[in-house]
Amino acid sequence: MADPVVTLKHFFEEARSGRLTGIRCRRCGDLAMPPKEFCPACQERDWAPVALAGAGNITSFTVIRVAPRGRAAEVPYAVAVVRLDEGVSLLGRIVDISLESLRIGLPVRFRPLVTSEQAAIGFGPA
Ligand SMILES: [Zn+2]
């Protein structure tokens, strides 16, 4: 089995350093992120890595008011689907933007949310 160009593990390692990496299908040109094994558009597995700038706009968001177990101190917070300028969408947590000022179309910028062992996707002010 050939190694994937960008694995999910690699994706999060890069994200931790503040870099977003997508993958583009060499066959049909579809851009995917986070990395997938097979192209959803053409079912091929022929990816090339693509560096993403991390700038985009909110296309939908949800305010979390009831926390998952162990995160009670963090609510309320928002998670949003952000459509990046490159054309892919990514789910991330909103940071440093007040819940009142969230709206569809708001420009945001990727920033890594790094805890002791994990990196997660966050979006802050553009
Ligand atoms: Zn494809």
Residue 45 Cα to ligand 1 middle (Å):
7
Identify the band that residue 4 occupies on the pLDDT scale cut at 50, 70 and 90.
low
Which pTM value belongs to this model? 0.84
- The CA distance from 98 to 86, in Å, is 26
Under DSSP, the state recorded for 37 is S
- Residues of the chain with pLDDT > 70, as a percent, come to 93
Residue 61 Cα to ligand 1 middle (Å):
28
Q: What is the CA radius of gyration of the chain?
A: 15
- The CA distance from 53 to 82, in Å, is 13
Identify the band that residue 116 occupies on the pLDDT scale cut at 50, 70 and 90.
low
| In the predicted structure, residue 6 carries a pLDDT above the cut 80 | no
pLDDT for residue 1: 46
- The CA distance from 49 to 32, in Å, is 10
Whether 31 and 88 have beta carbons less than 8 Å apart is answered as yes
Of the candidates 13, 7, 16, the residue with the CA atom closest to the CA atom of residue 35: 7
Residue 34 Cα to ligand 1 middle (Å):
15
Residue 29 Cα to ligand 1 middle (Å):
6
CB neighbours of residue 103 within 10 Å: 9
| In the predicted structure, residue 86 carries a pLDDT above the cut 50 | yes
| In the predicted structure, residue 95 carries a pLDDT above the cut 70 | yes
pLDDT for residue 3: 55
Residue 7 Cα to ligand 1 middle (Å):
17
| In the predicted structure, residue 33 carries a pLDDT above the cut 50 | yes
